[in-house]
A and B are shown apart, each in its own frame.
Chain A
Amino acid sequence: MRLRLVLIFGLGTFVMSFLLGTLTFFGVRDVLITQQQHTDLQQSYVNAALVRNTLYTAPLTITSVLSSIEQSAGSTVILDIHGQWQTANSQRPDALVSTAALAEVTKGHVTTETRMDATGLHFVVGIPMPAVETRVFEVWQLNDLEHNLRVLLFIIAAAALFTTVSGAAVGTWVSRRAVRPLVVVSDTAARIAGGDFATRLPTTHAGSEVEQLTESFNAMVEQLVSRLEHDARFASDVSHELRSPLTTLAMSASILEQHREELAPAAQQSLTLLSAEIGLFQGLVDDLIELSRSDAGASSLTLEVLPLAELTRQALRSVTRRLGVDEPQLVVAPEVSNARVLVDRRRFERIIANLIDNAQRYAGGARALRLVAHGAFAQLNVDDAGPGIPEDERDQVFERFYRGRAAHDRGAVRGTGLGLALVREHVRSLDGEIRVLSSPEGGARFQIDLPLVEFPS
């Protein structure tokens, strides 16, 4: 939009200045040419009269009179007396006077003609004077006029260029002023979309339309935040309400597990299914409660500066042991071997746990974890052994209860659908970023950037 405004202003001023310059130049050019030729013609009449008087009164002095005319007027005078050419400096007349002009003057007509030759541009006036049996041709140089017109053209072109540049500059200024509120709205909307629900548009005095937009936008955000908080509270309340009966159910199932041998085979199978479902349900409720706390900003954050490599190693060992899976390889690049990060240990472990669990459920397990440096960030890459995640699903996998094609197609073990959503919430709470890429080894790569406290040495 800004570029378009600048182009419109620049192009508009260019067209206007071009038209104005063209009209001015051609108008002035016509006036100058007309004036110059009128002046030359009138002077030619006067000089012709002087030649006539000289031929009448003192014909033997005609050569000196021609010389004096040429010196004072700056022109060249050629006489045709009784068919004999006569000039002050023996100049060839046929080079300066056209055949057509000669013919017209011979017929008794005064003629004017603009001619171009190797010496430049000339204005030639031909005057017949039958009283002295003479034709006078006076040749005026137009090179000065041509030079002046070139200077004028240059000045007009320079002015047009300056006006165009000025127009583009004004367009830039206007577009910047016009677009600035939209940029602020866009940035604010992006921050809100990123989870910063406390952000609002600043009140400005940039005009009633912008003020109205600001008020409407802020009101809309208030409504949305209120709705989200209401939903989060509802989910939290429901989860809390479900927790007690679930605990009772889990305890009952546990008691039944202690007496499994006494149950009939069919009852044992039912107990197994019941325990699994209760475990899944408990996981779901726990995740929901954690997300609700995070949404409400009630989740506690205990930040510590910890060595990243060691923290990752411990978390990985703990998680794999708890989940009962093989511990994937941890590769630490030398530049981050001593790097430290400001993290909440519990959340970091949860991130590792959920990613390992996700890989185990849907992608054949985690293949390797790699720690590398990336500017002011440490980058943790978790590569799995699956087929990878299609590009169109990579943003959606972090949505709550989203189940990708892998979960549907492969008949994987059912999860809560909240694992990756929690991972993203925790990463954000640590001022980090998470994204999904393709691993060079073929599977999916979950890449997490965490800000470094101490740069690698």
Chain B
Amino acid sequence: MNSKEEQSIQIPIGIEAHRFADKFAAEQINIEKSKQVYLNTLAVYAVHRYLKWLGVKTDLNKSDCWNPILRHRWNIADLVIPNIGKLECRPVLAGETTISVPPEAIEERIGFLVVQLSEDLSQAQFLEFTKTKVTGFLEIKTLDSLDEFIHVISPPPVNLGNWFAAIFDEVWQPIDTLFNPQELAFNPRGLAFKGFKKDNGEEKISSSEIIERVKEINLGLLANSQQLNLVVSVRKEKNQELGCLFQIFPMNMEEYLPVGLKLKVILEAGEGEDKVEAEETKKKLRIRLTELPGKLITVQVHIDNEYVTEKFIF
């Protein structure tokens, strides 16, 4: 049962993949370059399809190899996975034991996936995943690292319990980075204070109980992409519950949010959903809730058909 043959996923390379590869290869100056672009495109498209099966969003249009100028100059096979990073999908042909990785295929990559293409260019198969960045020749060694790849594309939810122990991932920054010193002096208790107070009017809250962090999120396509701040404020409540406040602000706190922007919070297994939407003059969107320990909280920010997801657990 555990033969290597049976452990690897086969990705069919259909007519769509060849259509892109045809178009991109036809734009190149000589056969050698055309062939490189053809194989790079098939490898990237195969990984894109596999991720689509798994429900992982990718952004071909933000990938350098989908840009006619960049693929013309560079030997690249990158695939942008929003919120995760840029993956390099290097093609190899059956029988090849090394791949060559040029310097332009290293920059800002979260890892390299070695994609073997069959002789009739009908199937792709993942041979190896590595996070090690090396230029030059990379020897293809293992067949068992696909599990690591699935790990990389499936980051665990943000553990809010850690926040109370002052452990934060570096993407979650203190909120004072959002304010200039004047504003901070005016609003020393941070962003959440008012939000929490509203629902617990009589209760005395000391600001030290509230932990607040901000993460920059990117939403939408290249030309009109939106940079936003997601601020998460948490505090422990009675009965071991967790009080949470999720807020979206524009990058520049003086500006308005884009019209139609939606903030959505989904609770575990269909237990509930809350949604707010920005109209013309909103400067922020917010949703407050309390949740029991161990339950997954999914926060989504939507605009048009695009959205980003952040997951939390306490």
Co-assembled chains A and B: no
